[in-house]
Structure 1
Amino acid sequence: MKRFSIDPHAGEPPFEQLRRQVIDGVRSGELVAGERMPTVRGLATDLGLAANTVAKAYRALEADGVIVTGGRAGSVIAATGDVTHRQAQAAALAFATRIRELGIDDDEAAALVAAALRAR
């Protein structure tokens, strides 16, 4: 199943459908802070849209503070919530990045976190 989809028969423009789906994904927790968004061109191809349409949605999301775009680094979901929550999100992202670098699978990573939380 694709994460994003466009209904060509909807009354809502495609860029707004995409914008709303990203916001809904953040609110539901499906999209988390630091998660990399697809490239504009890649998502446009996947959805059968013009790149400018996806770029328009990304610009609106950036203006709303939902995503952060960092040039060659691409676009990522912005940190949200209070300072403590943002720090926890950043720590989780750093952990996940390092776990991937080490080649550790999700189940083992979760077990390591659970053990560390019990040890505190």
Structure 2
Amino acid sequence: MIILDAAHPSGPAEQIRAQITALIQSGELAADARLPPVRQLAGDLRVAAGTVAKAYKELESTGLVRTGRANGTRVNPGLVLDTLALKDVQRVVTAARKAGLSLEDVQGIIAVSWNA
């Protein structure tokens, strides 16, 4: 379920993209799952169809989804976190919260580790 926050610093298209990405990476949206049609999701979220289309286009450009006329927009297989990786991420999040770290702190730590 996607929830838009009008007070969020990023716009609705970015919020949609980020939330769908998280749903795919967590496995909540399974490989080959069909995303709602652009107009349907736009109506549900009360945004312009172009906003949803922009989010879907960005998801497609990163390879997370594929779009076909007859098949709609579907999650690409093989792009979800496996169960062990997801549990590792959840452990890191739990430890970071206990340590009082912000999301930005954790992202910085991950960036340093990623580049090491």
**TM-score range with shorter-chain normalisation?**
0.5 to 0.7
Matched, 1:29 2:27: yes
Whole-angstrom CA distance in 1 between matches of 2:49 and 2:3? 15
1:17 — aligned with what? 15
What SS does structure 1 have at the residue aligned with 2:70?
helix
Tell me which protein shows more helix as a share of its residues: 1
TM-score, normalized by length of structure 2? 0.66
Q: After TM superposition, give the deviation of residue 72 of structure 1 in Å.
A: 2.6
Aligned residue for 2:42, secondary structure, equals: helix
Structure scoring higher RCO (CA < 8 A, sep ≥ 6) equals 2
Runs of 4+ residues over 4 Å off in structure 1:
none
> C-alpha offsets along residues 14-40 of structure 1, whole Å, 9 cap, x if unaligned?
000000001101111101111000000
Among 75, 78, 82, which residue is 1:77 paired with? 75
**Structure 2 residue aligned with 1:96:** none
1:49 and 1:67 map into 2 onto residues whose CA distance is 21
| Identity level (%) | 41
The residue aligned with 2:44 is 46
- Structure 1 unaligned spans of 5+: 86-120
Post-superposition CA distance 1:5-63 (Å, at most 9, x none): 11111101100000000110111110111100000000000001000000000000000
Question: Could you say what the CA RMSD is over the residues aligned between the two structures, in angstroms?
Answer: 1.3
